[in-house]
Chains A and B, each alone.
Chain A
């Protein structure tokens, strides 16, 4: 058998849904060797007090993140499109339910 290097396992990001119908929120991460272990560790570490009703675990290296250096140019396309907001529009006095 090939020698196994001692390891704490890969990093998995943990997302929890606090109540049914709510979005999943990132809460932290765990180390684990496979998805079952990641799920159990996430339960033991992040839901000891009823913090959630459902869990997602994702290997950290599958997360793609924007980089802070080009935050300006990356989000730039949205900055000059104020007409995407309802407050942009002029409506006649007295109109309702719109």
Chain B
């Protein structure tokens, strides 16, 4: 089939900043790139429920518990929005789940770190959701319609996630010396993995060029990381928390902070399955999926039975 005509229409749409919709013709590699990116994003939302879920039963107050429950429920919803966006590209939910459970698909490396104290819940909301929001705000203008629309919904919901985390950190930073120390320890542990969330440096990011060309991403990994650092440092200073980087200095010329790059060898190691919690996270997801099987089967049997009754009536 001659696709040059279709390719021209596709390119022209991108040039006019029009969105590509599910039934539009698109290059195979654009489709593949999107399926990979959107499904990784969906898996991250779903696996991301685990480190926080770890603290729901031990939240320090009923208020804190209700907030954390609502946040974790939102993350499950984000996973759903993203799975349905990926499905519009011609892959089924079952295949997507299967790719996660068999380890074929990746999810964000950040969720392979443990949540050791309540302050980690604060640090996740403030730093991890903060970094995710930075990326997701950009993706509201991504070139694939269903992905962009999912991002608009997600960004609306995310705004409380970061605030509730920062509130926890503020309370602890202004609390007893033990609480302060706990908050500082959480920042020390989450700072580097958070910087890794934006992905490898532009020069070493294999998928970046296509993502920018196809307007899937509008800004590069390094640009987003820099903006995150600029925005987060004053927030830490305000509540008297420091960051574990001796190289942090204001650079008047670039109107931003200089900072040390995270340990990319650690990043690669975690991505390839050897982080502190990779095995535990996947085992937990598999168990949840297997233990839910009877529910899915019962629902199918019930729907089939009702159909039979309706046919008779």
Contact = CB atoms under 8 A, between A and B. Distances in A.
Contacts of B302: 33-34
Interface residues of B, number: 28
Contact of B23 (A27, A45, A67): A67
> Which 10 A/B pairs are nearest by Cβ-Cβ distance?
A33-B303, A33-B299, A8-B93, A34-B303, A4-B297, A29-B84, A68-B24, A68-B23, A45-B77, A4-B300
A29 B23 CA distance: 16
A6 interface: yes
A11 B87 contact: yes
B49 interface: no
11 contacts: A4-B297, A6-B296, A8-B296, A9-B296, A9-B299, A33-B300, A34-B299, A34-B306, A45-B81, A48-B74, A68-B21
Contacts of B21: 68
B73 A48 contact: yes
A29 B146 CA distance: 11
Interface of B: 21, 23-25, 73-74, 77, 80-81, 84, 87, 92-94, 97, 149-150, 153, 157, 293, 296-297, 299-303, 306
Contacts of A28: 81, 84, 149-150, 153
A54 interface: no
A27 B92 CA distance: 19
A15 B94 CA distance: 24
A65 interface: yes
Contacts of B150: 28
Contacts of B306: 34
